[in-house]
Copies of this chain bind each other. A is one copy, B any other.
Amino acid sequence: MIDMAILGLLKGRAMHGYELKKELTAQLGQFWQVSYGSLYPAVRRLEKNGMVERCFPKEDIARRKNIYRITPAGEQLFTRQLCERSPVLDDARFGVRFAFFRYMTATDRVDLLERRRAYLLEMAADLKEKLRSYKEKIDDYTYRLMEHRVDTTRADIEWIDRLLAEEKLNLSSNLKGKPAS
């Protein structure tokens, strides 16, 4: 996952480690934390595998900054990881992908949103089932927390639905724009 995030940022522009960390925290910090202990080894790993490469712009040549740029192989890997169909789409896995939504095709976007929707629905169903069957076994605090999670999950699903409606509208209007049969 950290690989995808790094590649996604470098797809935007070349950066060095510290910059990557700052952008990662700013853009994805709400649902996913990255430490230097993960970041620096990850960048070196990507470099070793030819997914990113160092570049030395004139103005920074004196400073000891390690500026990295994405390679074609890296672009390919990024796209593959972004659209990979994993059954688990928790907050972090969905959030990171959503941050790079603009790099996906409209159909892949709809697909991802629908898989996230299914994941949330399953969560909600599990929670409701537990609320029903465990009602006497769990303590009051746990019950309240589960109740609240059901509500927030519902809100998440409604948000997804609004996005899905818009994406599908775009899809069909693009189709209409093309010559009729």
Q: Say whether B156 contacts A152, CB under 8 Å.
A: yes
Measured CB to CB, the closest approach of chain B to A33, in angstroms, equals 8
Question: A155 near B: Cβ within 8 Å?
Answer: yes
A-to-B contact residues, CB < 8 Å: 26-27, 30, 95, 98-99, 101-102, 123, 127, 130, 138-139, 141-142, 144-146, 148-149, 151-152, 155-156, 159, 163
Q: CA of A145 to CA of B26 in the docked complex: distance in angstroms? A: 13
Contact residues in B for A123 (Cβ distance below 8 Å):
30
New A-B pairs, 17, CB < 8 Å, besides A101-B141, A102-B141: A26-B130, A27-B138, A30-B127, A30-B146, A30-B149, A95-B145, A98-B141, A98-B142, A99-B142, A99-B145, A102-B139, A144-B163, A148-B156, A148-B159, A151-B155, A152-B152, A152-B156
Question: CA of A30 to CA of B127 in the docked complex: distance in angstroms?
Answer: 9
**Would you mind naming 26 contact pairs between A and B with Cβ atoms under 8 Å apart?**
A26-B130, A27-B138, A27-B142, A30-B123, A30-B127, A30-B146, A30-B149, A95-B145, A98-B141, A98-B142, A98-B145, A99-B141, A99-B142, A99-B145, A101-B139, A101-B141, A102-B139, A102-B141, A144-B163, A148-B156, A148-B159, A151-B155, A152-B152, A152-B155, A152-B156, A155-B155
State A151–B163 Cα separation when bound (angstroms).
16
Closest Cβ–Cβ distance, residue A164 to chain B (whole Å): 12
Closest to A148 in B: B159
Cα distance A151–B149 when bound, in Å?
14
A30 cross-chain contacts in B, Cβ below 8 A: 123, 127, 146, 149
Q: How many whole Å from A97's CB to the nearest CB in chain B?
A: 10
Query: Chain B contacts of A139 at CB under 8 A?
Result: 101-102
Contacts of A99 in B (CB 8 A): 141-142, 145
